[in-house]
Structure 1
C-alpha cells in the first residue's frame, strides 16, 4: 500500500505516536506499506490542503491511501482531492483518506463516501477513566487500582482503545 502521511506538529509525542501506531497497525494486519511522502501540516486543514495539492501533482495515481494524524488535516486532504476531481463519489477517482478524531465534519464526509474512515475515543469511556483514576489518586491509591485500564509501553499514558468510524458504522 503506497501512502501519504500527513503529520501534526513536528517532534510532538502525539504526532509521533499516531504516525507510528497507524502504520504498525496496518503492517500487523499483514499489509505491506510504502511511504511515498510524509509531510507536516501542523494540525491545520488549510496547510494539509496545500501540501496535498502538491503531493497529488507529484505522485498522482500512485497514491493508494492518505493517512492524517487528525481529522482536520484529513478534511484538508479531501478538499484538495475534490478540487482536482477526486473523492466526489466516483469509485474510480477515489483515494481513501483516513483521519483520527471522529469529528462531525469527518463523519459527514464518511457518510457521503468522500472520506474512508476515522478513529475516535468514546467520550464516555474517557470520562469514566478520568473519574475512576481521579478517585483513586485522591484516595491515595495507585492510579489504575481496581480498574481494567493499562499504561502503554511508556508508562505515562493510559490506553483507552480507539473505535473506528467507517461507512459501516454511519447508522449506529
Structure 2
C-alpha cells in the first residue's frame, strides 16, 4: 500500500471519529442551563414541569380560563403544579416561591394586582426559571423578569365599551349619568378598562361617571355596591359600566329589587362575554358585553414550548376579541363555551 492510499485512509478515519463525537455532544440531555439562561434541554418535545398560579375563581370567566390552561398543559404531556391564590397576593407569592423550590421548568401566573412582585420574580430569574404572564400584567420596570404576556388588551376593551355607549345614546339630549363597577383595586384589568373607557369619554363631556367603586369582580359584591349606588342616586342613573359580567349580573338583581328594569331604565354594559351575560341579554336585561377570551391555554403552552426551544417571543401577545349586543344574544347563546 503506497503512502498516498495510507494517507487517504487515515483521513477518512479521523473524519469519522470527529463526526461521532459531534453526534454524542448534540444528543446530551444533562438538564444544565441553556445558553439563554433557562432550565431544560431546549427541546419542545420534552416533558416539562409547569407551575400555574391562578388569581382565584371569582367568575365564570376565571373558571373557564383555569380549565383551559390546566387542560392544555396536561394534554401536551407536561406535569402541572397548580395553586389558587384566592385573590390574595400573599398566597400567590408563596405559590411562586414554592414552584421555585420545586425547580419547575416554567412558571405561569395571572397577577392578583400589578405591583409587589418584583422580589419574587427576581428569585425566579436567579433560579433560571422563565415566567409567563397570563391574562394580567405586572407593573415592573425590569421587563427581563418575565418572558411574555399573553392576554387581552384591557384598555381597548374599555374603549369598545365607551364607543358602543356613545353610538347607542348619540340622540340623547342632556347629560348621561354613568355608574361604574370597577374590578379588584390595583389589578391590571380594573386599571386598564377604566383608562380606556375614560379616554373615549373625555371627548364627550355630557357623559359623566357619577359613582365609581370596586365590586372586586364578584357577583355578590357587584350586587352590594349597586344597591348602594341606587340608594343614593337611583333616579339619576342612566348607565352601568361594569368591568366584568359577573358584577353586572349581580347589579341586575339589585336593579330589579329596586323596582327598575335593567336594560331599559338603566343600560347595562359588561365585559368578558360569559354565558351568563348572553342569558341576561337574551332576557332583555343586559345591553352589551365586550369579549375577553379566556380559552387561550393551548396558545400559552405553545409559547412556553417555543421559549424552552430557544425561540424569541414578543413581550406582549394579544388574543382577538369582539363585542356582542342584546340582539345577537339568543342566536349565539348555544355556541358559548364559557
Query: When the two structures are superposed, what TM-score results if normalisation uses the length of structure 2?
Result: 0.42
Q: CA RMSD in A?
A: 2.4
In 2, Cα distance between equivalents of 1:48 and 1:17: 19
Match of 1:13 in 2: 188
Q: For each residue in 1:106-125, what CA deviation from the matched residue of structure 2 results, as whole angstroms up to 9, or x when unmatched? A: 1100111101111223456x
- Where do 1:147-166 residues align within 5 Å? 157-166=316-325
Match of 2:307 in 1: 137
8 Å contact from structure 2 (residues 182, 242) kept in 1: yes
Match of 1:40 in 2: 214
Structure 1: which 5+ residue stretches go unaligned? Answer: 145-154
8 Å contact from structure 1 (residues 71, 103) kept in 2: yes
SS at match of 2:194: helix
In 1, Cα distance between equivalents of 2:294 and 2:323: 14
8 Å contact from structure 1 (residues 77, 97) kept in 2: no
In 2, Cα distance between equivalents of 1:23 and 1:131: 35
In 2, Cα distance between equivalents of 1:86 and 1:60: 9
Cα distance, 1:138–1:117 mapped onto 2, change above 3 Å: same
1:56 to 224, 227, 230: 230
Match of 1:116 in 2: 287
Cα distance, 1:123–1:48 mapped onto 2, change above 3 Å: closer
Structure 2: which 5+ residue stretches go unaligned? Answer: 1-175, 333-338
Match of 1:3 in 2: 178
The number of residues matched between the two structures is 155
In 2, Cα distance between equivalents of 1:88 and 1:34: 19
SS at match of 1:77: helix
Measure how far apart 1:61 and its partner are: 2.8
Q: For each residue in 1:13-60, what CA deviation from the matched residue of structure 2 results, as whole angstroms up to 9, or x when unmatched? A: 221112222333x438x5443110111111221222122112112112
In 2, Cα distance between equivalents of 1:168 and 1:136: 41
- For the pair shown, the structure with the greater C-alpha radius of gyration is 2
- Where do 1:58-73 residues align within 5 Å? 58-73=232-247
In 2, Cα distance between equivalents of 1:79 and 1:105: 13
Q: For each residue in 1:64-121, what CA deviation from the matched residue of structure 2 results, as whole angstroms up to 9, or x when unmatched? A: 21111111111111110011222267x4xx2011111111111100111101111223
Measure how far apart 1:135 and its partner are: 4.2
Query: When the two structures are superposed, what TM-score results if normalisation uses the length of structure 1?
Result: 0.77
